[in-house]
Structure formats: C-alpha cells, structure tokens
Amino acid sequence: MLRKVAKSAVLTALNAYDKRDGALQPQSPSAWDMTVSDVGELCWEGNSLAALAERFGTPLYVVSRARLERDYREFLGAFTALYPKVEIGCSYKTNPLPGVIRAMHEIGASAEVISHFELWLALRLGMPGERIIMNGPAKTDKALELAVSNGVRLINVDNPDEIATIERLAAKYGRRQEVGVRVVTSVGWSAQFGLRIGTGQAMEAFRRMKAAPHLVPCALHAHLGTGIHDAGVYFTAVTEMLQFARRLRDELDVEMRYLDFGGGFGVPTVRPLSPTDRKLIDNGFQVKPPREGLAPTTQEYAQGIIDRFSQYYDVASPQSPQIVFEPGRAMTSRAQCLLLSVLALKNGDRSSEYAILDGGKNITIPLGYEYHEAFVANRMKETQTRRYSMFGPLCHPGDVLFKHRDFPKLVKGDLIAIMDAGAYFVPNQMNFSNPRPPAVMVSGSDVRVIRERETFEDIVRLDAI
C-alpha cells in the first residue's frame, strides 16, 4: 500500500512538473501550415478537412503538396547552401503511396529502395536506373538481377554474400556496377543491419569488392534509426564514416564517390514516448506535447555535418564525393494527416471518457510509441473541457489510439485529425477486419485521389472462396 501511495505521489509530481508553465496545450495548427476557418474548421491549403471528409469519407489520408515541397526544399537548401553536391533520395519505405513518391520525384528527389517490390515500383514510376540507390538487409537474387540489369546507380552491400552475386550479375550484363557498404558505427542501429567498422567486417568487404573485376567500390552508407532528436548521434556517425573513408583511400586506394548518411532525422512535431510517459499515461495523466527546440533544426544538422565533412574533403572541389540523404520522415511526416470520425461515446473510467473512432491500430501503429498531435477538426474554436481516451473499432483490447487527452466535448460524427501521418502509418497499416483507407492530395484548389478506398472484394481478391 505504501509503495502504491509513493508511486502515485511521484507521478503526480512529474505531471505537475510538466505543467509548470501552465496547462498542457496542443501544438498550433500553423506547425503544419494549417489554418482555422471562420466557422472553426481546420483547413489545409484552403481546403476544409471537414469538407474533404464529407466528400471522400473516413478514415482518410490527406496529403499537402505544398507542405511536401516546402520540407524538401528547406532540407536540401540548408545543405546546399554549405556544399553544392548534396542529393535527397526518397525513402520508399517511409510512406509507400505512389502518389506521394511521384510528387517527391517531380520535386527532384531520387529513389532509395530496400526491397524487390520497391525497386519494381521505382522502375514502374519511370525512374531511370541512374537515379536509384538500392539498400536493404536481405536482397534476393531476383531483386539484385533486376537492379543490375536496369543499371541502378548504386547498390549498398549489407552482407558479404551479396558481393559474389552482384559480381556474377554485373559480368552477365557486361557492366561495372558501383557498390558501397552499409556500415555500422559506434552509435545507431546495428543488430541485423550492415557490417561493422570496428571489427574489420566493413574493411574486408571492401577488399573483396576491389578484387572483383566487375565491381566499383565507391560508397559508404549508414542509417542510424528513426526519429532521432540528438544531433550528437549523427555527428559521431558521420565522423567515424569520414575516418573510415580516409582509411579506405590510404590502405586500399579506394576513393569515395558517395557518402550516404541515410535518414532518421526527427521532426519537431513528433516525439518518442518515454518510459516515464507510459507510466503517466497508464495512471491517468496527460503527457506533454513536443516543445519548440526539442528537435535540432535542419540548419544545425547541416552546419555540423558539413563542418566535419570539410575536415576531410575540399568543399570547393568538384572531385569531392556526393553526399546523399534519405530523410523519409523529415520529408513526408508533416505533409500528411489522417482523418477519423467518432462512431460512439461511452462512460469511461475515473480518468477519462471513452470515444470509439472508425480507425484504430490497423492504420495508426506509430501512435503506440510516438506522441502525435490530434485536433477536433470540425470544432477548432471550442475550449478543451473534457478528457478522453480514444479507441479504434477493432475487437481487440490493444486497439488504443490515445489515452487521457483533452478535447472539446465530443459528439458522434466529430472529425479527429491525427497529425504527422506521413511516416510509417501507411507501410504499417493492415486490413484488420476493415478495408484500408484512401488518400487524397491537395494542391491549392486541386484535390485528387491518389489511392482509392480498398473494397471488401479487394481484401479477399487473392483468396479462394
């Protein structure tokens, strides 16, 4: 009993500390370039989200073309202001909506793919091989053959067995294939990914690739994780890669043409849920939204990375390597939201009332480990007076979207906008007892469907009935 009282006191103190600057307030819609109309409806590029929900139904993904372009240009511009040879590859796995990917290519992004399907899709979307980089921890022989036969610019080796396969295929198609190695530094993801610099695995891979007559070893690749908010992690990895590139030049006479620093950059409007957050939520408390300054700015990343790069390469020399980034979340997260409708309201527990929405864990997996902002999109001018826990429609006890969030008093039919639905919502969705939602892209007054709503027939189309 004493332990329970002490735990409650600690959590109450933590919650009070979070509220030291006043009651917890949601982030402003302006963080996503959204506005609120005179009648209190949330709008994107002048389009009422409530009107879009009425027209296309819910659940519904909405993509802002203007926001997509803004985040791409601001990210790229921060780096090219310091070093001109910087390229952004569209991370297909982050948001595999072909309409979004096509828009990224139209803006100027190349393609970064990690599977046979994604490579097929890049080619299907008309991307020439020289604008495709192939990564991934488990490349099948068929995927590698498709890559080599279509002249993809670069294949980053993730395990030693790939080297012989790529050499054989390059010989078969009479070409010299540019290759690199996904390296593991002292920070970031490791486990099943890449080859370690520290153990000599990465160096041995380069020795083997240099000895292969149809391979051109010329690249380093790393990917440190997702939603990274610590610039120091990135700077450490970049420094270790630059040191390794110098070793490759000195010991093997291998020059880098590409330094692929991957992605993983966090955005300021989303943050991971910490163990403390989870304890607070489990005990009926609301947790704080992201605050300004939580994530480093792109300018801070750019300055730190290029400062380190310039210690090893001449930024004014055209012979210095191309820097490649694959910032999926930083490109697409804030450019997409998910609209859900309130289906039912119930008496809840002592901490909050319950709301049942028409989309759940089948389409909102990231809500389980990240804080995402949510608005009542049809009543933005009303005061937050009630605390709700929100659940999806699945017959599953784990179908929880949010717990203990403050909203205006809800009624059936209200529209909930979940923000930052452009990173890892779509690739993790499933048709758990429900069809997958459609997506529309808004570009000013132009609104077009980029994915139709899945039908019941679509769900069972491949099954024998």
For the purposes of burial, counting CB atoms within 10 Å of the CB of 343, is it exposed (0-12), middle (13-18) or buried (19 or more)? middle
227 in the same domain as 297: yes
Cα–Cα distance between 224 and 179 in angstroms, integer?
20
Sign of torsion over alpha carbons 292, 270, 239, 259 = negative
Query: Domain end: 291, 314, 333, which one?
Result: 333
Q: Given this model, what pLDDT does residue 2 score?
A: 52
| pLDDT (average), residues 208-219 | 98
Task: Look over the chain and give the mean of its residue pLDDT values, rounded to a whole number.
Answer: 93
Cα–Cα distance between 232 and 327 in angstroms, integer?
17
- For the segment 270-308, what is each residue's pLDDT rounded down to a tens digit? 999 999 999 999 999 999 999 877 788 999 999 999 999
Q: Which residue range(s) make up the domain with 218?
A: 65-333
Q: Given this model, what pLDDT does residue 23 score?
A: 64
How many folded domains does the chain comprise? Answer: 2
| Residue 2 within any structural domain of the chain | no
Residue 58 has pLDDT above 70, yes or no: yes
176 in the same domain as 198: yes
| Residue 4 within any structural domain of the chain | no
Cβ count near 243 (within 10 Å):
14
162 in the same domain as 70: yes
The region of weakest confidence among 219-228, 396-405, 456-465 is 219-228
Distances 171 to 156, 166, 332, 371, 464 between C-alpha atoms, Å: 18, 9, 38, 49, 43
252 in the same domain as 321: yes
Residue 7 has pLDDT above 90, yes or no: no
Q: Given this model, what pLDDT does residue 21 score?
A: 47
Q: Given this model, what pLDDT does residue 295 score?
A: 80
The region of weakest confidence among 2-6, 242-246, 353-357, 358-362 is 2-6
| pLDDT (average), residues 109-120 | 98
Q: Given this model, what pLDDT does residue 3 score?
A: 54
188 in the same domain as 78: yes
| pLDDT (average), residues 405-411 | 96
Residue 101 has pLDDT above 70, yes or no: yes
275 in the same domain as 205: yes
| Residue 462 within any structural domain of the chain | no
Q: Given this model, what pLDDT does residue 292 score?
A: 74
Residue 151 has pLDDT above 50, yes or no: yes
Its pTM stands at 0.93
223 and 238 Cβ atoms separated by less than 8 Å:
no
Cα–Cα distance between 446 and 448 in angstroms, integer?
7
Query: Percentage of the chain surpassing pLDDT 70?
Result: 94
Residue 22 has pLDDT above 90, yes or no: no
- For the segment 318-336, what is each residue's pLDDT rounded down to a tens digit? 999 999 999 999 999 999 9
436 in the same domain as 394: yes
| pLDDT (average), residues 8-29 | 62
Q: Given this model, what pLDDT does residue 350 score?
A: 86
349 in the same domain as 327: no
Nearby residues of 292 by Cβ (< 8 Å), 6 or more positions away:
268
115 in the same domain as 73: yes
